[in-house]
Structure 1
Amino acid sequence: MTEPPVSRRERKKAQTRQAIADAALALFLDRGYDHVSIRDIAEAADVSTATIFKHFPGKEALVFDQEEGVDAQLIAAVRERPDGQGVLEALRQHLIDTWLPIAAHPQRREFVDLVDSTPALRAYAERMWARHTDTLSTAVADELGVPHGNLACVTLARFVLEVPVLSQGQKDHRAAVEEIFDILAHGWRPPSAP
């Protein structure tokens, strides 16, 4: 199935949205989140403040501009997996494909420091995490034909969404992701002493 071509108008909207997000992040990293106003961002992106609010519901959303499609991606990872591939393996591949490039981004450390040092951004990130957990656990439950809120589905969703946090301090991110998913697939075993 081929994707329909994106209209010029949609491409322009996407470019404007990205320019706003890029300008905001540059300002936040340079001055700190609390020292940047929406007007500062509008000026840096060469748009009006009204244009910013057409693309983003609030200031926090400017930091997490890539989050817009995460719920849809999680649902697609579960529902559109290849025949014969289990849910857990599909989620493993999804995280390898989506999180490893983010982990390797040169501004990743600065971004994490910005979020960790700003209470409003930490709270926003926690709300996003809860929403993604609900979305993923519901998709898994639907796929397995069990009721929403099923403890096994909620637990799996929470652990899968924690994989980036658990693996970010490791030298080899891919190996860490693989090890965590192996634990999810086969259960925890005590590590052996070196």
Structure 2
Amino acid sequence: MGQGEPGRRERKKAATRQALSSAARELFLERGFDNVTVAEIADAADTAVSTLFAHFPGGKEALVLGDGHERERALAEAVRNRAEQVTILEALREFLATRGPFDPDSDPRSRRVADLVVSTPALRAYARTLWTGCETELARVIAEQTGRDEDDFSLRLLARYVLEIPDLAGIEPDPPAALDAAFASLHRGWPGL
């Protein structure tokens, strides 16, 4: 096995996580989030309920939306790895434009999952918690990229506003247009970022 390649145990864990997540999404799309139990999901993935919670301690919501770590890493990378001529706000808008209800190019299944999240109060609340949980890291990365102090209140405020956009704009009749309007407002408040 080459360096960096996952071992058998890691591959098996990843396969179990994928099986659980896939089973959950299928059941949720078929019957609705509130009409599916964790026992039914575990059974559909041929695992035990304890295995489900070992992989997804966040419960049913985490089966659809994950735990937030990938989201936090991806947000930070969007800011750090932007092209030289792309502003931080443009990079964040581009990043959000590829997520959930904002992605015009999503496949039909992904669109149905995004609609499920927006229309299910528990999933929408969990998604908001995941987004806002990235506030400290996003503010830190913006500070790093701008040479400003990590404790700069205006950067924490900006991070919070950016991370509230998925919840607020995602329920608008035209989410991509609402995303653009939100970032137009942020550009006025933080010119040059």
Q: TM-score range by the shorter chain?
A: 0.7 to 0.9
**Could you tell me which of 91, 110, 117 is aligned with 2:116?**
110
Q: Which amino acid aligns with 1:106?
A: R
How far 1:110 sits from its partner (Å)?
A: 2.7
Q: Is the 8 A contact 1:20 1:41 kept in 2?
A: yes
* 1:1-194 correspondence runs (5 A): 7=6, 9=8, 13-28=13-28, 30=31, 32-33=33-34, 36-59=36-59, 60-65=61-66, 67-99=68-100, 100-101=102-103, 105-114=111-120, 116=121, 118=122, 124-187=126-189
- Provide, for residues 36-77 of structure 1, a one-character-per-residue CA deviation record: whole Å limited to 9, x for no partner: 543332111112334323422231422322744100001101
Q: Over aligned residues, Cα RMSD in angstroms?
A: 3.1
Q: What 5-or-longer segments of structure 1 have no aligned partner?
A: 189-194
CA distance in 1, matches of 2:143, 2:46: 45
CA distance in 2, matches of 1:55, 1:28: 18
- Provide, for residues 68-124 of structure 1, a one-character-per-residue CA deviation record: whole Å limited to 9, x for no partner: 41000011011111113221111111112234238961243333232x1x4xx5664
Q: Which moved more, 1:166-175 or 1:39-48?
A: 166-175
TM-score, with structure 2 as normaliser:
0.74
Q: Which amino acid aligns with 2:160?
A: R
Q: Which amino acid aligns with 2:179?
A: V
Change (3 A) 1:111 1:89: closer
CA distance in 2, matches of 1:78, 1:72: 10
Q: What 5-or-longer segments of structure 2 have no aligned partner?
A: none
Q: Which amino acid aligns with 1:109?
A: D
Change (3 A) 1:55 1:142: same
How many residue pairs get aligned? The number is: 180
Superposed structure 1 runs of 4+ greater than 6 Å apart: none
Change (3 A) 1:126 1:97: closer
CA distance in 2, matches of 1:169, 1:48: 35
Q: Is the 8 A contact 2:80 2:141 kept in 1?
A: yes
Change (3 A) 1:76 1:158: same
TM-score, with structure 1 as normaliser:
0.74
CA distance in 2, matches of 1:58, 1:169: 23
